[in-house]
Amino acid sequence: MPHTPEPDEDDLDAIAPPQPVFHVEQALLGALLLDPHRLDDVSGITADSFSTAAHAALYAAISTLPRPDPAEHAKNTKWLDRVLATALEEARGLTASYLHSLVQVCPWPRHAPAYARMVEAEHARRRLLTAAERLLHTVHDVSRPHPVQTVLAEADALAAVVDDIANRFPPRSGVLPRTPAPTPAQTPDHIEAIEEEQLLLATATARPDDIDAVRWLLPDDLTLPLHAGLWQCLTTLTRRNEPVDPVTALWEAQQRGLLDDGSAPGKVLRMLAEPAGSVGHWAERALRRSILSTAEHTGRRIEAYAGDPASTPFQLVVGARRALADIAAIRTRWQHATGAAPPQQRRAAPATRAGPPTTTAAHAARPTRVTR
């Protein structure tokens, strides 16, 4: 006879087991419930640092209620009852038995500072993950009237989170995330980008004198390798004061091996012979698209790092700052292109702070930026 599952049996099986930080939080709360005076040894965390509402409510109650007399606390549960009553205002599912279980699962109350440091580290990872997700959401929000400015502001917010984590966990030299960086995703408006880049190349070929005014546009800003190579051909010919037209650009492309991918010479000639608009307009459009693409790749890199529970705060800081460096570089070029004044940013100074030993981080090679 087939087994008939009990009500909600399948749902219970589907519940994921608690993450390690859940048990760390239990140990910390148990230590503080058993010896409330150990709260003096705990720093760097608040109620928001905990992963569940129940644990957050308990920590808030423990840290705000007057501490009991040690001798009285050892004799009765009056203080624990007050903690429970206060925490129940925020988390109704709590019970007295859960508080007693917290005390029982705590291995060593004197290790409370180490437990707090672990809770702080996990909270830092969650904060970074949330900030990276906000950046990605902003990149894909097509309703924004000024997408570049909004994305750069969100990148600044992400950088501020990284700086705050760095103050709490000063990075160690050479400690890189071991999580593989994701490959760059194709832009949603890929077809439109290709068409606009073709117009840029054709217009620059027809008006080479205008190329010098858009030196802030780099080959990597273009989406196709052929387009990036052709733009490099045009800028090189202009720099050498050589004649620029579709034929000379095609010849330079052949010398650089750009036609080895099977691109038909006739098709390249036709593309370069159909100018429209201005070089500056199409160049700025390409740079705007490159900024959004760079921001998306940066967000996805940091999201991947922060989404790996094995990443230490030290690794997260180093990896995130290297990812954000790409946005900083392209921001400078955007300011040159648009004449925008750079924002006055105040970066927090790194602080030195000792913490408990952490697992030795694996070294990884610095990721190479993929040419779009």
Taking only the tens place, the pLDDT of each residue in 240-280 is 999 999 999 999 999 999 988 888 999 999 999 999 999 99
Cβ 232 vs Cβ 225: under 8 Å: no
Q: Following DSSP, what letter does each residue of 116-143 receive, concatenated? A: HHHHHHHHHHHHHHHHHHHHHHHHT-TT
User: What domain range includes position 100?
Assistant: 9-107
Q: Which residues of the chain have pLDDT under 50?
A: 1-5, 7-13, 344-372
Q: What does the block give as tokens for 309? A: 């529970």
In the chain, how many domains are there?
2
Q: What is the pLDDT of residue 58?
A: 97
**Which of 174, 198, 228 is CA-nearest to residue 363?**
174
Question: What CA–CA distance (Å, rounded) separates 45 from 120?
Answer: 6
CB atoms within 10 A of CB 242: 11
User: Half-sphere exposure (CA, 13 Å, Cβ side) for 240?
Assistant: 12
- Do 227 and 362 fall into the same domain? yes
Same domain, 78 and 145: no
**Could you please report the per-residue DSSP string of 163-178?**
HHHHHHSPPPTT----
CATH number for the domain spanning 361: value is 1.10.860.10
DSSP states of 320-357 as a string? Answer: HHHHHHHHHHHHHHHHHHH-PPPP---PPPP-------
Indicate whether 97 and 218 sit together in one domain: no
* Same domain as 33, residue 141: no
In degrees rounded to 5, what are phi and psi of residue 357? -60, 145
In a domain, 2, yes or no: no
**Nearest-angstrom CA–CA distance, 171 and 189:** 38
Q: What is the dihedral sign for C-alpha 218, 216, 153, 324? A: positive
What pLDDT sits at residue 186?
Answer: 66
Q: Are residues 17 and 160 in the same domain?
A: no
For tokens 């580290």, name the residue.
Answer: 121
Residue 327, CB-side half-sphere exposure with 13 Å CA sphere: 28
Query: Do 142 and 93 fall into the same domain?
Result: no
**CATH assignment at residue 72:** 1.10.860
pLDDT digits (tens, 9 = 90+) for 96-119: 999 999 999 999 999 999 999 999
354 near 117, Cβ under 8 Å? Answer: no
Domain assignment present for 299: yes
Q: Is residue 298 part of a domain?
A: yes
